[in-house]
Amino acid sequence: MKNSTLRIGTRGSALALWQARWVEGEIRKRFPGCATAIDVIRTTGDAVLDSPLSAIGGRGVFTREIERALLEGRIDCAVHSLKDLPTELPPGLSLGAACEREDVRDAFLPRPGNPVRTLFDQPPGTVIATGSLRRRSQILSRRPDLRTVDIRGNLNTRMEKLRASDWGGMVLAYAGIRRLGWEESVGEVIPADVLLPAVGQGAIGIEIRSNDEAVAPVVGALNHPATAAAVAAERALLARLQGGCQVPIGAFARIEGGEIHIDALVASLDGATIVRGKAHGAAARADSCGDDLARTLLEGGAERILRAIDRAGARP
């Protein structure tokens, strides 16, 4: 990148900017002579806040406009929360790096003044806010007497809505809360085996043009092999299930003892039916491990769930 500026594309939320600035800082550490600039790009998901993600297309709503800028050469790389990045990238684009993962778990943030600090100890009928079908289904599976309400917007907006509400609290990804320094708002960090996270949750992905020989080594220096293997397994599972924001799918892969281990689930929209599974295998074949587990889930009942969701018109 000599004699040129590496332009980094990102959404404009506080969390997205934190991630882009972190990537920018890590690049400068490794390549002191590399000039950088951050370009903020507004996406469909940022513009349409009065509808659930499942109603506005789900896949790619936080990435399409940024990817278009990347393909057109207006930016040189794009920084995403990996859980927002569809498994099928546009032709000409590839994942240049999966940065070291933050905590993958979800967190419960009780409304200020609510003395009950934990999610599943809330009284019957308590309203829990979440913008995720994955979270909603798992919550209702354990506590069908709770109520859920959809919430959209960046973290600042969600906090304002929570403070002005009569909800019991809301559930968010703990990684974003940690990155913004909001840990004091957390009542409980929920174990991953209680609330299985989203595919790619907690990881930052950097997207590049596939043929960009100048940018690839710069971005590739930020790749974290263990994280890359884990998210490869999760994304392969998601690709086989053809899921997105419209389907309650959870997955968590990690390297243990030199092997990839992955847990996953597919749930009905109301949480009444959940198909779970787990698998492990060679870390070098992480994507195959994820794909194999997806096939096992489909054979174990997940295909019926997905067909029911399709019949209900919940997927595009």
CATH of residue 288: 3.30.160.40
Q: Specify whether 115 is located in the same domain as 95.
A: no
Q: Specify whether 88 is located in the same domain as 33.
A: yes
How many domains would you assign to the chain?
3
**Per-residue pLDDT at 18:** 97
Q: Specify whether 212 is located in the same domain as 240.
A: no
Residue 94 sits in which domain range? 1-101+203-223
Q: Read off the pLDDT of each residue in 247-266 and give the average, rounded to a whole number.
A: 96
- Phi, psi dihedral angles at 270 (to 5 degrees): -95, 0
Q: Specify whether 90 is located in the same domain as 212.
A: yes
Q: Read off the pLDDT of each residue in 126-150 and give the average, rounded to a whole number.
A: 96
The model's pLDDT over 283-305, given as tens digits with 9 standing for 90+, comes to 999 999 999 999 999 999 999 99
Q: Is 50 a catalytic site residue?
A: no
What's the pTM? 0.91
Q: Read off the pLDDT of each residue in 138-157 and give the average, rounded to a whole number.
A: 93
Evaluate if residue 1 carries a pLDDT over 80.
Answer: no
Evaluate if residue 56 carries a pLDDT over 50.
Answer: no
Q: To the nearest whole percent, how much of the chain has pLDDT over 90?
A: 84
- pLDDT-derived band at 156 (thresholds 50, 70, 90) equals confident
The CATH number of residue 145's host domain is: 3.40.190.10
Q: Specify whether 240 is located in the same domain as 209.
A: no
The model's pLDDT over 94-124, given as tens digits with 9 standing for 90+, comes to 999 999 999 999 999 999 999 999 999 999 9
| Residue 195 belongs to a domain | no
Catalytic entry in 84, 106, 212, 263: 84
Average pLDDT over the chain, rounded to an integer: 92
Q: Read off the pLDDT of each residue in 138-164 and give the average, rounded to a whole number.
A: 93
Q: Specify whether 263 is located in the same domain as 127.
A: no
**Per-residue pLDDT at 39:** 97
Write a three-state SS string for the chain: CCCCEEEEEECCCHHHHHHHHHHHHHHHHHCCCCEEEEEECCCHHHHCCCCCHHHCCCCCCCCHHHHHHHHCCCCCEEEEEHHHCCCCCCCCEEEEEECCCCCCCEEEEECCCCCCCCHHHCCCCCEEECCCHHHHHHHHHHCCCCEEECCCCCHHHHHHHHHCCCCCEEEEEHHHHHHHCCHHHCCEEECCCCCCCCCCCCCEEEEEECCCCCHHHHHHCCCCHHHHHHHHHHHHHHHHHCCCCCCCEEEEEEEECCEEEEEEEEECCCCCCEEEEEEEEEHHHHHHHHHHHHHHHHHHHHHHHHHHHHHCCCCC
